[in-house]
Amino acid sequence: MPSPVTATESIDAAQSAPHAEPVIRIRGLSKSFGEVRALDGVDLDVAPGTVLGLLGPNGAGKTTAIRVLATLLAPDEGSITVAGLDVVADAAKLRSQIGLAGQYAAIDENLTGLENLTMVGRLYGASRARSKERGRELLERFELLDAADRPAKTYSGGMRRRLDLAAALVAKPPVVFLDEPTTGLDPRSRITLWETIEALVADGTTVLLTTQYLDEADRLADRIAVIDHGRVIAEGTSDELKDRVGGERLEVRLSDRSAADVASKALAPMSDEPPYTEDGVVKLTVRGRSGTIVEAVRRLDEAGVGVDDLGLRRPTLDDVFLSLTGRVAEATDGEETAA
Amino acid sequence: MRRLVSDTMVITERNLVRLTRAPDLVLAFTVQPVMFLLLFVYVFGGAIQTPGYEDYKDFLLPGIIVQNIAFGGFVTALGLNEDLKKGLIDRFRSLPMARPAVLAGRTSADLVTNTLSIFVLLGTGLLIGFSFHASLVEIVGGLGLLLLFGYAFSWVFALLGLLVSSPEAANSLGFIAVFPLTFISSAFVPVESMPSALQWFAEINPFTIVVDAMRALWVDGQPAGNSVWGAVVWSLVIIAIFAPLAVSRYRRSAGG
């Protein structure tokens, strides 16, 4: 069995090579549960040392994809390799090359933080002493050293997630899968976890993460694959996806919410798509930038609509999601972040 | 194979450390059987005829220890189900560890808790007047047989824990399955006192065979006969059936 250290070295070598082979290569991945087609012909590549964000609503197939990649679930169809190893044929070998942090903090609540990490280290095949040492290292890095000898059941939600992520990194795996790493965390814990993930990637780890949060994908992912109903419906960098949606976005905050229909009608000629309204704000994609605001003010004035605020902005991933799926991305409301 | 042994030891250790952090669980597994023993001896004891035994205590103790040991596997069923729910099984399955180790570590930890509960029950029994009519070899042999039978049942509970949707379901299904088995046996009353249909079932019930073997070893004061071999064979057959089923279920198990 290759030691985790050699695995890290080999990936470092792969990274320095130009046009490196993808570390994760997915072709034609399909998986059904009974009648439900959870994944329906997914193709994806992840280059070494980069982050791919798998973005989609609940039930889009994100978790199923992670479970296949982490050897927990056999695919129905498709050829999937991670670190050059087939997820089915080489599953046993592959497991020493990957780390998994799931949607729920998969830690033993009755063990202390250090005992949890030591256990995982030993299950990767390291000695007790070495596992303990590595455990302490990680606890320090994740700012959990003070809580090292406390049972994990006394940890806060954020601390549990950090411990869970630490457990995924025990063997310094070259590839890490994170399934909705910050779902359910408070804003501060989210940002701490984001910083940790960024540091991980800076060290050369390849990461595939799933998220329902557009800001999370925007911040962490080098490339984003938007997934819906088991299919990849768009893929690219955050900027590419935003360009795909096209144009600048005009947002008009109305003084009187009931004027939304009148305002939409007045502004409609400025866009190729019908404007939509969210929380008293009329939003539309406009064709050009120059003169847009003047024209909008004139049109709204003629229609007799009062305006509190009005501005142009680049499209966000929310817009991308909306324009690709025809639905507003879920789980973004009520989640204010300071990012 | 070396990995299987070392991974199993890691998981066993984990399960035993957990027990020290949840002492109420240990209490539940020792106080409850003692309560059963005392209730049976002092409430029913006077009314139950046990021909061939001087005292109902001598008749009952092997039976109640066997019943208790079969329930020892509950720790495995509940623990595995909790691990499944909390995503720990997913973590373990994503690690390069020996596949059966999570289950073997559970069932091995049961050996320790079972040993503890045997000694508590036996100690209580001796205090209230149970007496061995056996050689040291027979006493130790009896302990070994109890642990073997308990280990076999831990594998039954391992499969149960992986199949059911919640610890509550594991609890009640396990109870429904095991409780009648222990009662329709020679554990508490002589089989001859039952209606003939029950008698027929009780005689082929592995619990009867194991309880009879324990009585032969500890109380009867005669050379232990076929029942001991029958009990060993039954235990091995249960392991041979349920361990592979549980491991294969574990390989496929999908967490919460």
Please list every residue in chain B whose beta carbon sits closer than 8 Å to the beta carbon of residue A122: 6-7, 10
pLDDT over 50 at B238, yes or no: yes
**CA of B141, closest CA in chain A: separation in Å?**
35
Is B21–A70 a contact, with Cβ atoms under 8 angstroms apart?
no
Distance of alpha carbon A264 from alpha carbon A262, whole angstroms: 6
Q: A70 and B18 in contact by Cβ < 8 A?
A: no
Of B86, B94, B248, which to mutate for an interface test with A (greatest number of A Cβ within 10 Å)? B94
At residue A212, the pLDDT reads 84
- Of A146-160, A229-243, B182-196, B217-231, the one with minimum mean pLDDT is B217-231
Cα angle value B204/B206/B212 (rounded, 5°): 90
In angstroms, the separation between the Cα of residue A110 and the nearest Cα of chain B is: 5
Q: What is the DSSP string of chain B?
A: -HHHHHHHHHHHHHHHHHHHH-HHHHHHHHHHHHHHHHHIIIIIGGG---TT-S-HHHHHHHHHHHHHHHHTTHHHHHHHHHHHHTTHHHHHHHSSS-TTHHHHHHHHHHHHHHHHHHHHHHHHHHHTT----S-HHHHHHHHHHHHHHHHHHHHHHHHHHHHSSSHHHHHHHHHHHHHHHHHSSTTTS-GGGS-HHHHHHHHH-HHHHHHHHHHHHHTS-S---HHHHHHHHHHHHHHHHHHHHHHHHHHH----
Query: Measured between beta carbons, which residues in chain B are less than 8 angstroms from residue A73?
Result: 254
Interface membership of B82 toward A (CB under 8 Å)? no
Q: Which residues of B touch A123 (CB under 8 A)?
A: 7, 10, 92, 95-97, 101
Q: Do the beta carbons of residue B163 and residue B250 sit within 8 Å?
A: no
- Residue-level pLDDT at A13: 41
Question: For residues B55 and A47, which has the higher predicted lDDT (pLDDT)?
Answer: A47
Query: In this structure, what token pair is assigned to residue B208?
Result: 């009867």
How far apart are alpha carbons A158 and A252 in whole angstroms? 37
Which chain B positions have a beta carbon within 8 Å of A71's beta carbon?
93-94
Q: How far is B71 from chain A (nearest CA, A)?
A: 23
Please state, in angstroms and rounded to a whole number, the distance separating the CA atoms of residues A25 and A4. Answer: 21
Q: What amino acid occupies position B175?
A: F
Q: Binning pLDDT at 50, 70 and 90, where does residue B254 land?
A: low
Give contacts of A 44-83 with B, CB under 8 A.
67, 70-73
> Is the CB of B220 inside 8 Å of chain A's CB atoms?
no
- The strand pairing partners of A55, in sequence order, are A211, A226
Cβ of A8 under 8 Å from any chain B Cβ?
A: no
Establish if A166 touches chain B: CB-CB under 8 angstroms: no
d(C-alpha B67, C-alpha B49), whole Å:
20
Number of Cβ within a 10 Å radius of residue B256: 12
Selecting from A98, A102, A122 the residue whose C-beta is nearest the C-beta of B90 gives: A102
Of A103, A107, A123, the CB nearest to B7: A123
For residue A71, the model assigns a pLDDT of 92
Question: For residue B27, what pLDDT is reported?
Answer: 80
Position B65 pLDDT exceeds 60? yes
Phi/psi at A311 (5° precision):
-165, 165
pLDDT of residue A115: 96
Count residue pairs from A and B with Cβ separation < 8 A. 75
Which residues of B are less than 8 Å from A7 in CB distance? none
Query: B75-112: buried (b, 16+ CB within 10 Å) or exposed (e) per residue?
Result: bbbbbbbbbbebbbbbbbbbbbbbbbbbbbbbbbbbbe
Residues of chain B positioned with their CB less than 8 A from the CB of A167: 91
B94 and A100 in contact by Cβ < 8 A? yes
Top-confidence residue, B52 or A339? B52
Instruction: Specify the 3-state DSSP secondary structure of A210.
Output: strand
| Distance from C-alpha of A48 to C-alpha of A190, rounded to nearest angstrom | 25
Q: What is the structure's pLDDT at A42?
A: 94
Q: Given an 8 Å threshold on Cβ–Cβ distance, is A71 in contact with B21?
A: no
* pLDDT < 50 stretches in chain A: 1-18, 331-339
Task: Find chain A residues with C-beta within 8 A of B86's C-beta.
Answer: 104, 106, 109
Q: Do B21 and A110 touch (CB under 8 A)?
A: yes
Q: How long is chain B?
A: 256
CB of A117 within 8 Å of a chain B CB? The answer is no
Percent of chain B with pLDDT over 90: 60
Yes or no, beta carbons of A108 and B18 under 8 Å apart: yes
Chain B residues whose CB is inside 8 A of the A151 CB are: 21
Q: Compute the C-alpha angle B129/B135/B136, nearest 5°.
A: 90
**In chain A, what are the domains?**
4-242 (3.40.50.300), 247-314 (3.30.70.100)
CB contact under 8 A, B10 and A71: no
User: What DSSP string describes A33-74?
Assistant: ETTEEEEEEEEEEE-TT-EEEEE--TTSSHHHHHHHHTTSS-
For position A327, what pLDDT does the model report?
Answer: 67
CB neighbour list of residue B34: distance below 8 Å, 6 or more residues apart? B120, B121, B124
- Whether ipTM tops 0.90, in short, is no
> In the predicted model, is pLDDT for residue B10 greater than 60?
yes
